[in-house]
Amino acid sequence: MKNESIQIVESMFKNPLGFLKLESPQVYRNMTVIPIIVQDDKFIEFITIKEAEELELIEIVETDAVGELEVINKSDKQILIPFGMTVHGGKQDRTIWEPILLPVGGKQSIVKQNPGNPTQKYKIPAKCVEQSRWSYKKGRGFKSSNTRLHPNVAFEAISAAGQGAVWDEIQSHRVEMNYDIAVAPTQSYLEMTQESEKQTEKMVNNFKNVENQCGIAVFINGEFTGIEFYANSEAWKYMSNDILKAFSIEALRFKDKPQKKEIKEYHDELIKILNSLKFEFSIREGVGLGNVVEFNSNNNKWRGITLVHDKTMAQFYLVSKRGGYQNQPRSNIQFQTVIDQRFV
């Protein structure tokens, strides 16, 4: 019998309107955004990592492995660390490559990795987005940044892809955006995206959140690019600006390209595309609560990831890859290293 979490994700593609309410499309230049409202019975109570940081209720620190960070939940609430979040600090900037819902912290003290020695610390998977730095700037700690991965880099960061593929896509982004070599000398993705900050902020300011919004579906140049939503409207408020910026980077990549086609009804087009996609699914137990479900389309154009907890998707993310680095796929490579390894 098929796993229940996979069945939930499959049903989202078969019947999107069973999960989502689609609001009126908003358009600015070559980017169209459909605001999404998640149905009331799909709500999950949690706060985001950004809110937890503001309240000093979470701590992220370096470990002895590049592909791993350590996080401590000091809150009496569940905390969501979303896929695609980037953190700045330590010896290299990193991205979190799966959604993580941390259990209530405070006096509670549990950890799946070592039940014989209870602790509030969780080891979370990370990938590097800064290839050429290996020294501390301001200590071992990390803070979340305002930069989310844009679709092409996010596509490679989903765990089926290796570390090398992420670095290759970041370098491809440097080339296609024509960033000078003096920009981001440590190959930092966060520093590269600062070069387009004014342009992306201008785009973001043209899109407005609606009441109870939980996510967006995005079309660029008349082509469906991706979708991201949360089971919590307050989480969306904290994350929305960063998510819109990430998709705006994608819009800038294609600003000089012609429109793919004219779309008269975006809602119908979105549902038709979601219904048509065919995926291979995999599932694993989450670092904290719930199950992580990954899905890759049969034509290897679409990749997605979600965290299913309490029969609901806490975060849902789906994107396609367009252009960018085109070498042979590294789909089965997993990146592990030790702390004394150096990158040049």
CB 186 within 8 A of CB 214: no
Q: Flag whether the pTM goes above 0.85.
A: yes
Beta bridge mates, 37: 21
Query: What's the pLDDT score for residue 42?
Result: 84
Query: What sign results for the dihedral spanned by CA atoms 131, 134, 136, 140?
Result: positive
Residue spans per domain, the chain: 4-320
Question: How far are the Cα atoms of 17, 66, 125 from residue 63, in angstroms, in the given order?
Answer: 42, 7, 11
Query: What's the pLDDT score for residue 159?
Result: 74
Element (H, E) at 51: helix 49-54
- Residues with Cβ < 8 Å from 312, sequence gap 6 or more? 8, 42, 43, 44, 231
Gap between the Cα atoms of 56 and 49, Å rounded: 10
Query: What's the pLDDT score for residue 31?
Result: 97
Gap between the Cα atoms of 342 and 338, Å rounded: 9
- Residues with Cβ < 8 Å from 183, sequence gap 6 or more? 174, 191, 192, 195
Beta bridge mates, 25: none
Long-range Cβ contacts of 307-310 (<8 Å, 24+ apart): 307/98, 307/99, 307/100, 307/101, 308/5, 308/8, 308/9, 309/44, 309/101, 310/44
Per-residue pLDDT of the chain (344 residues; tens, 9 = 90+): 579 999 999 999 999 999 999 999 999 999 999 999 988 788 999 999 999 999 999 999 888 787 899 999 988 999 999 999 999 887 788 999 999 999 997 544 333 444 444 447 899 999 999 887 655 565 556 889 999 999 999 999 997 778 999 999 999 999 999 998 888 888 889 999 999 999 999 999 999 999 999 999 999 999 999 999 999 999 999 999 999 999 999 999 999 989 888 899 999 999 999 999 999 999 999 999 999 999 999 898 999 999 999 999 999 999 999 988 876 443 333 323 222 221 22
User: Collapsing DSSP states into helix, strand and coil, what is residue 320?
Assistant: strand
Specify the pairing of strand 47-48 against strand 79-81.
parallel
Return the biggest CA–CA distance within the chain.
Answer: 60
